[in-house]
């Protein structure tokens, strides 16, 4: 149980285009989902927290107009990188929790974005 999937697993896009990444909780309802960014050989940096049906809360320094997050249902959150540039190339990882008292985050396998 507690499986989180991401789609696509990798994507290559041209500079200036937008790309959408999906994060799904397959066997539980995710009240909260988190989006992280991981640069090569570095740690995960939290980008934003999203709760179903409400606006995402972005961490300081993260451009919310560039990284659009939608948490439309209890099993799906999407991250859209708008007008992507090469510096947006990274590994994007989502995680999900179920319930306000939950302590464990379940992580997706990640999406590798390469912007050319």
Cβ atoms of 1 and 98 within 8 Å: the answer is no
Sheet holding 19-25, edge to edge: 4-7, 19-25, 76-81, 67-73
Neighbours of 89 (CB within 10 A): 17
Q: Least distance in Å: CB of 116 to another protein?
A: 20
SS (H, E, C) 7-43: ECCEEEECCCCCEEEEEEECCCCCCEEEEEEECCCCC
Nearer to another protein, 15 or 39 (CB): 39
Token duo for residue 62: 């993260």
Nearer to another protein, 14 or 101 (CB): 101
Nearer to another protein, 58 or 88 (CB): 58
Nearer to another protein, 79 or 93 (CB): 93
Binding site for another protein (CB under 8 A): 4, 6, 32, 34, 41-46, 49, 93, 95, 97, 100, 102-105, 107-110
Q: Least distance in Å: CB of 43 to another protein?
A: 5
């Amino acid at each position: 149980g507690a499986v989180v999937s991401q789609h696509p697993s990798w994507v290559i896009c041209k500079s200036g285009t937008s790309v959408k990444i999906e994060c799904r909780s397959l066997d539980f309802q995710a009240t909260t989902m988190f989006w992280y960014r991981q640069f090569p050989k570095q740690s995960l940096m939290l980008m934003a927290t999203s709760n179903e049906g409400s606006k995402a809360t972005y961490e300081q320094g993260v451009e919310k107009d560039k990284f659009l997050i939608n948490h439309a249902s209890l099993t799906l959150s999407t991250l859209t990188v708008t007008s992507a540039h090469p510096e947006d190339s990274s590994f994007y990882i989502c995680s999900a929790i179920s319930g306000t008292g939950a302590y464990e985050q379940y992580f997706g396998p990640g999406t590798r974005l390469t912007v050319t």
